Structure 1
Amino acid sequence: MADKKKQKQCILDACRATLRIPAFCNDYDDEIADVIEAARAELVAGGVRPEKATDDDDGRIRLAIKVYVKANFGMDNPDADGFMKSFECMLTSMSGDSLYRAEPRDE
């Protein structure tokens, strides 16, 4: 469990850096963590296997999460639409890749 917490902290640090928030400033960590979890949920909802969506060692997953965070952090982001389009392209690519694709559920 400690490794998972450390891994999540690493993606939090990476997202903080992506947002150009200094490492010493953790005022927004709760909000960033919520957006990270939303990004993971979007990946799974879009067809990425849950175990891949939580694999912070995978560069494509890390990049997709960081792009999603850039699109959804803060209230007045003029670049949000562009970042969301980038995220959606990455999601489409991953959901079509057998390494990432979740198997369809029988219902």
Structure 2
Amino acid sequence: MLESIKLALRIKSSAFDEEISDLIQSAEIDLKISGIINAKEDDPLIRQAIKTYCKANFGLDNKYSEKYQASYESLKQHLSLCGDYNE
């Protein structure tokens, strides 16, 4: 998952691996707190949610942060309402 997220963030260096790993774990926890208990890393919607969360929260001068955060919140809400993810 780390390499996939780094690719999505356009990061080639390993300098930010710890920060990105923390963001991945934070996204997974946030999804669980929201009632999404069937969150498998191989599920494309879960992967997209984690990528979007990371894009929203990575970096200090991220001018698209709000856009990605809104997208993540929308996807999270849809996932939490879907029976395939919350049963």
One fold, TM greater than 0.5?
yes
1:61-103 residue CA offsets vs partner (Å, 9 max, x unmatched): 000000000000111111111101000111111011001015x
Output aligned runs, 1:33-48, within 5 Å: 33-48=21-36
Residue 76 in structure 1 maps to residue 64 in structure 2: no
Superposed structure 1 runs of 4+ greater than 3 Å apart: none
Residue 66 in structure 1 maps to residue 56 in structure 2: no
Aligned-partner residue type, residue 19 of structure 1 = L
TM-score, normalized by length of structure 2? 0.95
SS of the equivalent of 1:60 reads helix
Residue 12 in structure 1 maps to residue 2 in structure 2: yes
* Map of 2:82 onto structure 1: 97
Identify the match of residue 32 of structure 1 among 20, 24, 31: 20
- Higher CA-based Rg: 1
Q: State the identity %.
A: 37
Aligned-partner residue type, residue 5 of structure 2 = C
Q: CA deviation at 1:14?
A: 0.6
Residue 21 in structure 1 maps to residue 11 in structure 2: yes
RMSD between superposed Cα atoms in Å: 0.9
Q: Please, which runs of 5 or more residues in structure 1 have no aligned partner?
A: 1-10, 103-107
Across the two proteins, how many residue pairs are aligned to each other?
A: 87
Q: Which has the higher helix share?
A: 2
Q: CA deviation at 1:47?
A: 1.3
